[in-house]
């Protein structure tokens, strides 16, 4: 399946799943060289489709990605967002980073964040990289994987 067919298949696949739940909506789709971006507009089913802490959303995304891989699609990496949930979550994380950095600077002690999924950890790592005196490190395994913020060795 070539790139254009992969994009069209991903869009139809998500729209078909949504229609199964009685939601007939047009999914916006865009693509760069490596990732198909799918955006579902806000509806009365947001909570159901997103799930607790985004679990259902991530499951739908994984299901689509696996299906594309199994069909030998040219592009199988997907980013599914429902009602801008991910974008808003990432924006909140970036805002929280400032407070976490202040806490590390004030206490001079490492600060352990709550466990996060890989995408959220990536956002935090990128946001903290703007602060030259703070470093991040991921620790733990699986669902317990979390980030630790600490001062660089020069600042201690």
Q: Are residues 43 and 92 in the same domain?
A: no
Q: Looking at the structure, do residues 110 and 68 belong to the same domain, yes or no?
A: no
CA separation (Å) from 21 to 9, 18, 24? 19, 5, 9
Domain that holds residue 30: 3-83
At which of 83, 113, 147 does a domain end? 83
The last residue of one of the domains, among 83, 103, 121, is 83
* Distances in whole angstroms, Cα of residue 154 to Cα of each of 69, 110, 123, 148, 151: 46, 14, 24, 17, 8
78 with 92, same domain?
no
Considering the chain, what percentage of its residues have pLDDT values greater than 70? 97
Using a pLDDT cut of 90, give the percent of the chain over it: 83
State the CATH number of the domain containing residue 15: 3.30.300.20
Confidence class for position 32, pLDDT limits 50, 70, 90: confident
Count Cβ atoms within 10 A of the Cβ of residue 20 and give its class: 0-12 exposed, 13-18 middle, 19 or more buried.
Answer: exposed
Question: Is residue 132 pLDDT above 90, yes or no?
Answer: no
The tens digit of pLDDT for each residue in 79-101 reads 999 999 999 999 999 999 999 99
CATH code of 109's domain:
3.30.1370.50
């Amino acid at each position: 399946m070539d790139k254009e067919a992969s994009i069209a298949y991903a869009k139809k696949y998500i729209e078909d799943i949504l229609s199964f739940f009685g939601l007939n909506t047009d999914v916006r789709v865009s693509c760069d060289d490596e990732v198909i971006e799918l955006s579902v507009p806000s509806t009365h089913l947001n909570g159901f489709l997103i799930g607790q802490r985004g679990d259902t959303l991530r499951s739908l995304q994984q299901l689509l990605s696996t299906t594309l891989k199994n069909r030998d699609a040219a592009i199988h990496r997907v980013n599914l967002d429902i009602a801008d949930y991910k974008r808003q979550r990432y924006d909140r994380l970036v805002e929280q980073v400032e407070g976490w950095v202040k806490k590390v600077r004030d206490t001079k002690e490492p600060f352990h964040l709550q466990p996060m999924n890989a995408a959220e950890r990536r956002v935090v790592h990128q946001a903290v990289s703007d602060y030259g005196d703070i470093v991040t490190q991921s620790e733990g395994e699986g669902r317990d994987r979390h980030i630790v913020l600490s001062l660089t060795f020069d600042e201690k």
